[in-house]
């Protein structure tokens, strides 16, 4: 499969996908991480916030325990979200998550393509018709070497109401909390990573698993790649991003690669500025790959500020942050606030420097004749990542395989 032409510019870039088209959805990772890690790290001695958290979070059957039944239900695609009829009515168009306005009375071709679930491809390279079906879930054994290390799956969904429709999952992050409770690793799985989709007999972009079967199917798809069980699942959306950032007075972000309006160096950003910062891709050397690095830098800035003494010792500021971070949070039915508080007490020493970012290993971006633009998984390096997760040795993990410039091949 031919690699993408990296010489494309803005005028023809929409015909080739460099990753998430909606960077605001990518920032739901920040919401989820802060909603979870922040509350965990604070909850041990901020008991008065428990009522706020309990009142805000929602619970759903998101995980897939051994011998539970996972349902593949493709008929749920494209359902309407509450308020869609009114969206953009005042200005004659609809607003997508990038802030782009459709003024022609309907969604553009790129938006329609983005809303469709990626096709499932069989071993013969042909598309598989996926019908509603069920299968029994299985999970990897918990390695003794990992001790009490925990793995959370954080899903960024664009749904405004999970009770109506599951939406799309453009952000998939595995959060690994080590046995000593003094290190957190956040492994981002690109939405277009081409992998086997559990229960379908074929492969597709990894976010198709969520489209076809929600969080349980995504759990069953991800676990064989990393060969460790997922303990809990969290779903977040982008609604509280600005409020959460502004609740802590903005954040200092390291700008590693300059772009218009953002000179290289440390820059203080509020929520609106942060959205602009992470939206840029055309002026960056690796397009969406570089933009993903910006998103990680911004999330690091938020987490550093949220876990700082200035926030922890300011009850009003702390309360505003926790309220904003948990307002749009759905967790699996087994994750109780009391458990979060106990885990938080064990993690009370965690600060921004103890949180580490990785990207699931990939070797290039290519055009698949059926699936379209895909990210090719680096299989051998994925096994290396798996071994470090299983042995709880992420402090020793490194990835010399994933491209550091360009888009591979």
User: Lowest-confidence range among 70-84, 115-129, 214-228?
Assistant: 70-84
| pLDDT top residue among 104 and 158 | 158
Give the H or E element holding residue 391.
helix 379-391
pLDDT digit string, tens, across residues 78-136:
433 333 433 333 333 322 333 333 333 333 444 434 457 889 999 999 999 999 999 99
Domain annotation covers residue 402: no
User: Lowest-confidence range among 52-61, 187-196, 238-247, 252-261?
Assistant: 238-247
Domain range spanning residue 256? 13-77+117-396
Residue 75 pLDDT greater than 50, yes or no: yes
Residue 321 pLDDT greater than 80, yes or no: yes
Strands 232-236 and 150-157: parallel
Question: What's the pLDDT score for residue 2?
Answer: 41
Confidence of residue 341 (pLDDT cuts 50, 70, 90): confident
Q: How many domains does the chain contain in total?
A: 1
Confidence of residue 199 (pLDDT cuts 50, 70, 90): very high
- What is the overall mean pLDDT for the chain? 77
Residue 216: phi and psi, rounded to 5, are: -60, -40
User: Lowest-confidence range among 85-89, 244-248, 286-290, 377-381?
Assistant: 85-89
pTM: 0.78
Domain annotation covers residue 222: yes
d(CA 182, CA 346): 8
d(CA 255, CA 294): 7
| pLDDT top residue among 18 and 286 | 286
| pLDDT top residue among 263 and 242 | 263
Question: What's the pLDDT score for residue 70?
Answer: 95
User: What average pLDDT does this structure show over 206-219?
Assistant: 94
Domain annotation covers residue 109: no
Most confident of 27-36, 77-86, 391-400: 391-400
Planar angle of CA 73, 79, 83, nearest 5 degrees:
150
Residue 113 CA to chain centroid, in angstroms? 20
Residue 402 pLDDT greater than 90, yes or no: yes
Question: What's the pLDDT score for residue 11?
Answer: 39
User: In this structure, what CATH number is given to the domain that contains residue 250?
Assistant: 3.40.630.190
Domain annotation covers residue 97: no
Token couple for 315: 């009850």
| pLDDT top residue among 177 and 297 | 177
Domain annotation covers residue 90: no
d(CA 189, CA 378): 12
d(CA 364, CA 376): 5
User: Lowest-confidence range among 101-105, 136-140, 335-339?
Assistant: 101-105
d(CA 386, CA 39): 27
Domain annotation covers residue 106: no
Domain annotation covers residue 401: no
Residue 161 pLDDT greater than 90, yes or no: no
Question: What's the pLDDT score for residue 80?
Answer: 37
Question: What's the pLDDT score for residue 47?
Answer: 59
Domain annotation covers residue 86: no
d(CA 364, CA 353): 30
Q: Which of 358, 359, 364, 361 is nearest to 376 (CA)?
A: 364
Question: What's the pLDDT score for residue 167?
Answer: 55
Q: Which of 236, 106, 231, 120 is nearest to 170 (CA)?
A: 236
């Amino acid at each position: 499969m031919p690699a993408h032409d990296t010489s494309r510019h803005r005028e023809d870039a929409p015909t080739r996908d460099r990753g998430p088209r909606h960077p605001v959805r990518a920032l739901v990772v920040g919401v989820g991480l802060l909603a979870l890690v922040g509350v965990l790290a604070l909850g041990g001695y901020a008991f008065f916030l428990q009522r706020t958290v309990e009142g805000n979070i929602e619970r759903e059957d998101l995980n897939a325990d051994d011998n539970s039944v996972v349902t593949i239900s493709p008929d749920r695609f494209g359902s309407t979200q509450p308020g869609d009829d009114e969206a953009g009515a005042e200005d004659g168009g609809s607003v997508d998550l990038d802030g782009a306005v459709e003024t022609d009375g309907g969604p553009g071709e790129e938006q329609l393509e983005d809303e469709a679930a990626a096709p499932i491809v069989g071993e013969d390279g042909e598309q598989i018709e996926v019908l509603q079906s069920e299968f029994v879930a299985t999970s990897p054994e918990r390695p003794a070497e990992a001790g009490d290390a925990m793995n959370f799956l954080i899903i960024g969904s664009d749904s405004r109401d999970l009770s109506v429709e599951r939406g799309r999952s453009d952000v998939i992050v595995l959060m690994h909390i080590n046995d000593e409770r003094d290190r957190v690793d956040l492994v981002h799985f690109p939405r277009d990573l081409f992998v086997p989709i559990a229960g379908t007999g074929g492969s597709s972009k990894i976010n198709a698993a969520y489209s076809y079967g929600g969080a349980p199917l995504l759990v069953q798809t991800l676990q064989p790649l990393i060969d460790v069980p997922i303990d809990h699942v969290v779903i977040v959306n982008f609604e509280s991003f600005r409020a959460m950032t502004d609740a802590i007075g903005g954040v200092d972000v390291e700008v590693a690669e300059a772009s218009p309006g953002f000179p290289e160096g440390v820059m203080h950003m509020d929520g609106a500025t942060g959205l602009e910062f992470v939206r840029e891709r055309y002026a960056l050397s690796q397009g969406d790959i570089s933009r993903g690095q910006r998103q990680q830098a911004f999330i690091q800035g938020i987490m550093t500020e949220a876990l700082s003494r200035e926030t922890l010792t300011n009850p009003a500021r702390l309360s505003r942050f926790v309220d904003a971070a948990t307002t749009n949070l759905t967790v699996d039915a087994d994750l109780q606030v009391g458990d979060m508080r106990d885990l938080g007490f064990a993690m009370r020493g965690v600060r921004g420097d103890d949180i580490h970012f990785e990207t699931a290993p990939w070797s290039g971006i290519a055009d698949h004749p059926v699936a379209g633009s895909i990210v090719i998984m680096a299989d051998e390096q994925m096994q290396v990542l798996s071994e470090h997760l299983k042995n709880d040795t992420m402090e020793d993990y490194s990835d010399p395989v994933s491209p550091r410039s360009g888009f591979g091949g």
